[in-house]
Structure formats: C-alpha cells, structure tokens
Amino acid sequence: MWNRQELKAKGKAAFKANRWKCVLVAFIFSLVSGGVYSRFNVSDENTGAIICLSLIACLLGIFLFNPIRFGCQHFFKKNSAAPAEPGEMGYGFKSNYGNIVLTLFLQALFTVLWSLLFIIPGIVKAYSYRLVPYILSDNPDMQPTEAITKSREMMNGNKWNAFVLDLSFLGWAILGIITLGIVYVLYTQPYICATDAEIYNKLKGDSEEIPVEL
C-alpha cells in the first residue's frame, strides 16, 4: 500500500527542484496527449478530406506523438531522482523506437477494445496499463505483452488508490479552468506528471519479480 500524501509530497518536491523544465515538458506532454483538432462542416465535398486528415492524425499519434509523450514520462521518472534535462523527451526515438511504438499502440488498442464493452471496463484497464511507459523507460527492449502484463500485475490492488489520487487533483484542475489555463500549465500539470512517476517508483520498489503469463 502507498500513502497518497507521501506520493504527492515527493512529486511536488521533484517538480519544485526543476520547476521551469518540468513546466516545459508537462506543457508538451499536454499538447501531444490532446492532439490537434480541426473543425469541418460535414458534407459530401469535405468527407474525403476529413478521412485523409484523420488518417494523418492517427499516424502522427502512433509514430510521433506517442514516443514524445513517452519521452515526457521518462523525463519525469528521471527527474524524481535528480533534476533532468528536457532532452530526455527524445528517449523514445533513441531506445528501440520500433518496440516502444508497438507497445504504446497495443496499450491504446487494448484500452479502446475494453471500452467498447462498456465505459467502466475501459477505465479499469486504462488504470491497469498505466505503468507501461515507465516500465518501458526502464526496459525499452521488453516485449509489448510482457510490459503490459507487468503493468497489470503491478497495478493489481492499486487501481482504486490511483483513481482517488487523480481525484485529489480535481481542485487544482478547476482552479486551472478559472485562471484560463494559467495555473494548470504553470503548476497543476507538472505537479500531476511528477506525482504519476512517483506511483511507478513506489510500486517498483515494493514489487518482486512477477512471473509473466503470455
């Protein structure tokens, strides 16, 4: 078991020790996680363009945005131990890029497939697979199914605690909305990212080697 206040305190301390670099990386993390959207009027004339742009956006997400997002999480994991440099965001392109792309794609695919059953199973699986990027950060050559299974095993019994931890940031998120995103960019998002890395650090420290069932 882990203590929510303790994890948040560690995340906050790591963030404050490298404040502006954390703000920059968290901002980029938000951009690549949210994606880029364009508005169109649905009609016969632009349906083809919508399909084409959607395909391009999907490919960018898989081959560019996912590795960058992974690199941001790698940054915050490293920043937990000592102030890290923004260059860590490129880690996904330098360490078994193909395996990282495939693993993150399968993580997203499995979550979507579970979500098709109903919303709740999808949310549960999203929490089960939450640690996949951090596991890959330590083991970029790990097979996709192994990384996904290891995340599921590590999050077993911890999904509810992670959900409550996420809810504890709700007030900061609302404050971010009230301030037109200023507080969210300068404080809330890097605070959340730093704390998320602490979940992995805690569970990694507590866990023993778990047999992988393929």
Reply yes or no on whether the pLDDT at 39 is more than 60.
Answer: no
Write out pLDDT tens, residues 160-191: 999 999 999 999 999 999 999 999 999 999 99
pLDDT value, residue 213: 41
Question: How sure is the predictor about 45, in pLDDT bands with cuts at 50, 70 and 90?
Answer: low
In the chain, % of residues over pLDDT 90 = 80
Reply yes or no on whether the pLDDT at 209 is more than 80.
Answer: no
SS (H, E, C) the chain: CCCHHHHHHHHHHHHHCCHHHHHHHHHHHHHHHHCCCCCCCCCCCCHHHHHHHHHHHHHHHHHHHHHHHHHHHHHHHHHCCCCCCHHHHHHHHHCCHHHHHHHHHHHHHHHHHHHHHCHHHHHHHHHHCCCHHHHHHHCCCCCHHHHHHHHHHHHCCCHHHHHHHHHCCHHHHHHHHHCCCHHHHHHHHHHHHHHHHHHHHHHHHHCCCCCCCC
pLDDT value, residue 9: 97
Can you tell me the mean pLDDT for 10-22? 98
pLDDT value, residue 187: 97
Can you tell me the mean pLDDT for 64-85? 97
pLDDT value, residue 104: 97
pLDDT value, residue 2: 81
